[in-house]
Amino acid sequence: MPRTYFAAKMQALITQIANRHNFDLTGDKGELALSAGSGFLPLAISKRGKSVVVVAHYRPGRMCDPEMEFTVTPEGWTPKSLKTCIGKRRYATDSTGTRQELLDFAEGWATDSINLNSQLKHGKVIETVAA
């Protein structure tokens, strides 16, 4: 049986943030942008179609640091790509190593990020774009 690469911690945290701010993760399109105050990068949660969620921190000028794209299925969220501030995008391929690296990054970001946890506790809506 093939190994699955679901980012359960990231999915749970982003779902909590979205629910707190009444952002519909089941829709086709939309974006929620949050700020947790000085010292924290703004967070954006975007829907790009029924089966894609993008989570990103943005620096001024909308330069991502980082940006992760997830494929959404009823079973869970699977990391699809990671883009860093230098503009390089890594894709989850059939390579087990690459898939595991993206999963490790997503789960580490959700677990260890003071910024993401601050968004959950103190995030204020900057902008919501509905479908």
Q: Encoding tokens for residue 77?
A: 């969220």
At residue 1, the pLDDT reads 44
Per-residue pLDDT of the chain (131 residues; tens, 9 = 90+): 456 789 999 999 899 989 988 999 998 899 988 887 777 778 889 999 999 999 988 766 666 678 899 999 999 999 998 887 766 666 666 555 688 888 898 998 888 775 666 776 767 777 666 65
At residue 70, the pLDDT reads 95
* Domain range summary for the chain, segments of one domain joined by +: 8-125
Q: State the pTM of this model.
A: 0.82
DSSP states along the chain: -PPP---HHHHHHHHHHHHHTT--TTSSEEEEEEE--TTS--EEEEEESTTEEEEEEEETTTEEEEEEEEEEETTEEEEEEEE-TTS-EEE--S-HHHHHHHHHHHHHHHHH-HHHHHHHHH-EEEEEE--
CB 120 within 8 A of CB 16: yes
Backbone angles phi, psi at 49, to 5 degrees: 95, 170
